[in-house]
Structure formats: structure tokens, C-alpha cells
Structure 1
């Protein structure tokens, strides 16, 4: 069995582009959810800075994450947000380290 991975992808919208970034990421979610190996793909907005977005993801394997990175949904997001982000997304990949309660101690 492959080891899952967790991704934290941070995106900062250019001023005035916050709605476009949110709408684009929301619109992509159903297609990403349907990708093989997608366990979680959840969008969040910073509580005090509406231009900062974080996508929390969980993939069944690195291979599934790699396929996601080359998939149509992510290509479409990249094209739609090419001029809307202040910088390229900051994508961090983590190895889950479950601890404590099985439900509460892991994504």
C-alpha cells in the first residue's frame, strides 16, 4: 500500500483579484475531488487577510499527487490565475504522522 501525503498550498491574490481566485479554486474542486487518489481537497481563506488562501490536501500516494500536478484541473487553474496571484503558489508536501485519537490525530 502506498503512503499518503498531505499538501498545504498557499496562494496570495493580487489586490482586487480575491474573488477571481476564490471562484476559480471553488470551481476546480469537483474535478479534483474526482481524481484518483484524492482524499481531501479543501479551500480556506485567512481570517484577517481575504487575499490569502490555503488549500489543504490529502492524497493516497505521491503518485496520485504527481498525477494531480499534471492533470487538466490544475492546468486550468494555473491558466486562470496566471495574472491573479502575487507570486507562484507555495506548495509544501508533508508526511502524515498520526498521533493520539485516530480521527482527531490525522487528516
Structure 2
């Protein structure tokens, strides 16, 4: 098992009719996620000009912590919300590279 911290960039896109509900659903997800023992950071960013586009910057202690987050009921509920509303969500895992100066 890889024990390096892992970053996830998630890209939700939400229809205007669901914008406020998305923010409420994300707030609940964030509160639960930030309480997870392996969550180091979980931040939502809004696109500068498109109100329906977001990026979530997530950092977990390691792959096991990310896997636990992915399987958690609050994460599954949020993904259900995305699917029910016809929104989209793309997630990409990344490892930080520590390059010599």
C-alpha cells in the first residue's frame, strides 16, 4: 500500500436550478469529510465566470484514507445527489512530486 499523501481534484458541474442545493449538499459532505481521520484538506472553489462549475481540492493522508472516504456513507449520498440532479463529477487522483531545488 502506498503511504504518500494523495490529492484529488474533483470537478463538479451543476445546472443553475440545482446550484443552491448543491452548495447545501457539499456543505454536509465537507463537514463529514473534514472529520475523517485521514482527511488533511477539503476545499471547494467556484469558477471565476461560470457559476455552475467548481473544483474540489482534497488531500488525504494516503490511499487507504482516500478509499475510506470514497466508501463512506456521506460520500455515497453526495454522489447519489450528483446523479439524481443530472450533474457531473470527474475526479482525478494526484501525488505531489518533491523535486530538488
Q: Give your verdict on TM over 0.5.
A: yes
Structure 1 ranges of 4+ moved more than 6 A: none
Higher helix share: 2
Matched positions, count: 100
Note the residue ranges of structure 2 that are not aligned, 5 or more in a row: none
TM-score by length of 1: 0.83
Match of 1:24 in 2: 25
- Look up the SS of the partner of 1:81 in the other structure: helix
**Structure 2: how far apart are the matches of 1:26 and 1:84?**
17
Q: CA deviation at 1:51?
A: 0.4
* Cα distance change on mapping 1:44 and 1:100 into 2, 3 Å: farther
**Structure 1: how far apart are the matches of 2:19 and 2:49?**
13
Q: CA RMSD in A?
A: 1.9
**Structure 2: how far apart are the matches of 1:9 and 1:98?**
22
Note the residue ranges of structure 1 that are not aligned, 5 or more in a row: 102-107
* Cα distance change on mapping 1:21 and 1:99 into 2, 3 Å: farther
